Chains A and B, each alone.
Chain A
Amino acid sequence: MHPVQFYHLKGKDFFNAGRTSTTIKRFLREKEYPPQVIQRVAIIAYEAEINIVCYTDYGYFFLYFLDDRVRIVVKDRGQGIEDIDQAMQEGFSTASDEIRKLGFGAGMGLANIKKNADKLHIQSVPGVGTVLKIDVLVNSEGRSDSMATTLREIMTRADLENLTEGLDIDKVVTGGYAGDLLSDVNANSSAGNVWVTVLTHPNVTAVAGLKDLTGVIIAGGIRPGADFVEKAYAEKIPIMFTEMSAFDVVAMLSTLGVSGNS
């Protein structure tokens, strides 16, 4: 089974609204997930799909099949949500008449998603788009209360070399960002992200410190020098090293459920 599935969804495509969710449902059924899990994931995906069709230009789903959970990451480019608390309330809706005619827009969508999720995290920028991260646990055994992956887990999974022994690698990784342009990473990464880069210039640690990242993975096999490591200690930014290509590191992070920044 592919550890990650990707689905692209068009906005305003009312006729096909729901198609991806039923595809996901069939897929989960083939994989013999428990019926309750299938149902919950299908309802979450359907409501998210309807939201994409109704309120955005386009969006996409990543579906991660992790050890103890199915993780759905939904991203869109669209109007975004002004007030998330308000949007979560049952009955609150900004739907147009067209949407209401379809039988949606009664203000149940996000509430429905929340009801069926074990974990839900929403980020939204009005006028830009929304990111939903949703976990549905597969069984109650080994239930953990967090959606979190840590740098330690990542290090262990891919046998990364820790260049900064002693620095904290148990902080929660909120997502990932890959890039080799400092200004780009400075502009687009978020606090708590893990950064994948092939750069070995000491300024990497300065940007990582400034943006409060959880760590940096130096990919591609070019080992940073002593000055780099020294600065990393000063900034308290853990540095991991690997010969894997940046692409493979990102793919590996995907299998752990680490998703990209909005």
Chain B
Amino acid sequence: MKLSEVKKLLNADVIFGEEVIDQVEVETAFASDLLSDVLAYSKENALFLTGLTNPQVIRTVEVLDLVGVVFVRGKVPQMETVELAKRKGIPLLRTKCILFETCGRLYGAGIKASRIMVD
């Protein structure tokens, strides 16, 4: 599905990337508040769901070639984080849903896990 549909499903605000959300395709997602776990287990092209708000979120997205970030639980990313995302062209969404609800809505709509289980 397109990122614009993710936005609708989650009642999300677009913090950055309004002009690309109709183009970015989302098939898988990874949810975590531990960046090392994302680095260890996520595959590329996943949408990243997290409650973390610091710039390392964006660095992680860049290192892994993820497609974008949804900040959950109403978290507002730090200004530096948004600035960095703008420079790198990484779309950012924000939802008031908790992480469980966010995952549930996306899963129900056909988004699959970036990785089902760890080895």
Contacts and interface: CB of A to CB of B under 8 A. Distances in A.
A103 B54 contact: yes
A106 B62 contact: no
Interface string A16-28: 0111011001000
A112 B36 contact: yes
B75 interface: no
A103 B63 contact: no
A109 B65 CA distance: 19
Contacts, number: 71
Given A15-B80, A17-B59, A18-B55, A102 B35 contact: yes
Q: How large is the interface on A (under 10, 10 to 19, 20 to 34, 35 or more residues)?
A: 20 to 34
B101 interface: no
A46 B34 contact: no
Interface residues of B, number: 22
Nearest to A90: B40
A107 B63 CA distance: 19
B59 A22 contact: yes
Contacts of A208: none
Contacts of B58: 18
A201 interface: no
B44 A39 contact: yes
A108 B59 contact: no
14 contacts: A17-B55, A18-B56, A18-B63, A19-B59, A22-B63, A39-B65, A42-B63, A46-B39, A102-B35, A103-B50, A104-B36, A106-B34, A106-B36, A108-B39
